[in-house]
């Protein structure tokens, strides 16, 4: 048993060092994003027992991400996102925590280029008027311009997705449209 743990530990160390020991290629990308989720009419549907459309106020969104450049024009990665929302016509508020996978293509291969991609994530919503968290999934697309100089980059992404969240013990459910405008800064290592 100790030999298997030792071999797995050594293999993990070799793979980790291989990821970060690429002085010339810079295929690992880490970054942060910040922006807003704009408000528009009837963007949240609250199901059983309410069956009503609710409008959110514009709220902040924060994101951290890691990506790996797998081809010249393709990145695959993972992200963690936090969003805070208040609602029109009530004092209720909610926080959405989401983590998932994303993919991003870029064209042309130049300093200033366009990026197009998508994401799929899982997460939780903690709302002030519910006694337990809602759990569910999001899926969406993102598009926008980006500029890269040396190992640094900045991108402006317009994202749009759909999410569906439900509690486990009761019949509370929420469907939502998730538009976002994010400024992302990243570093290639």
Q: Read off the pLDDT of residues 82-125 as tens digits, 9 standing for 90 and up.
A: 999 998 878 889 999 999 999 999 999 899 999 999 999 999 99
Exposure of 168 by Cβ count < 10 A (0-12 exposed, 13-18 middle, 19+ buried)?
Answer: exposed
**In terms of DSSP bridges, do strands 59-71 and 52-54 run parallel, antiparallel, or are they unpaired?**
unpaired
pLDDT on residue 72 = 85
pLDDT on residue 132 = 84
Closest CA to 51 of 138, 139, 137, 175: 175
Of the options 1.20.1340.10, 3.40.50.720, 3.40.50.150, 2.40.160.20, the CATH number for the domain spanning 23-188: 2.40.160.20
Q: Which residues pair with 106 in a beta bridge?
A: 115
Indicate the pTM of the whole model.
0.83
| pLDDT tens, the chain, 189 aa long | 567 677 777 767 776 666 655 555 788 999 999 999 998 877 888 876 677 888 899 999 999 999 999 888 899 999 999 999 998 878 889 999 999 999 999 999 899 999 999 999 999 999 888 788 899 999 999 999 999 998 999 999 999 999 999 987 666 788 998 899 999 999 998
pLDDT on residue 170 = 66
Exposure of 177 by Cβ count < 10 A (0-12 exposed, 13-18 middle, 19+ buried)?
Answer: middle
**What does the domain layout of the chain look like in residue ranges?**
23-188
pLDDT on residue 7 = 75
pLDDT on residue 19 = 60
């Amino acid at each position: 048993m100790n030999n298997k743990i030792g071999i797995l530990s050594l293999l993990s160390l070799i793979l980790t060092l291989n990821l970060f020991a690429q002085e010339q290629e810079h295929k690992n990308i880490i970054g942060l994003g910040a922006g807003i989720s704009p408000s528009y009419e009837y963007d949240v549907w609250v199901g059983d027992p309410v069956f009503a459309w609710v409008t959110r106020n514009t709220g902040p969104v924060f994101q951290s991400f890691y990506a790996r450049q797998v081809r010249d024009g393709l990145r695959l990665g993972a992200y963690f996102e936090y969003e805070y929302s208040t609602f029109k016509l009530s004092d209720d508020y909610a926080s959405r925590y989401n983590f998932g996978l994303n993919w991003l293509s870029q064209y042309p291969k130049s300093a200033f280029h366009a990026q197009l991609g998508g994401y799929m994530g899982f997460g939780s919503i903690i709302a002030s008027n519910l006694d337990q968290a809602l759990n569910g999934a999001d899926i969406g697309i993102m598009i926008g311009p980006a500029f890269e100089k040396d190992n640094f980059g900045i991108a402006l992404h317009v994202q749009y997705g759909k999410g569906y969240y439900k509690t486990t013990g009761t019949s509370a459910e929420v469907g939502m449209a998730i538009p976002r405008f994010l400024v992302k800064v990243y570093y290639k290592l």
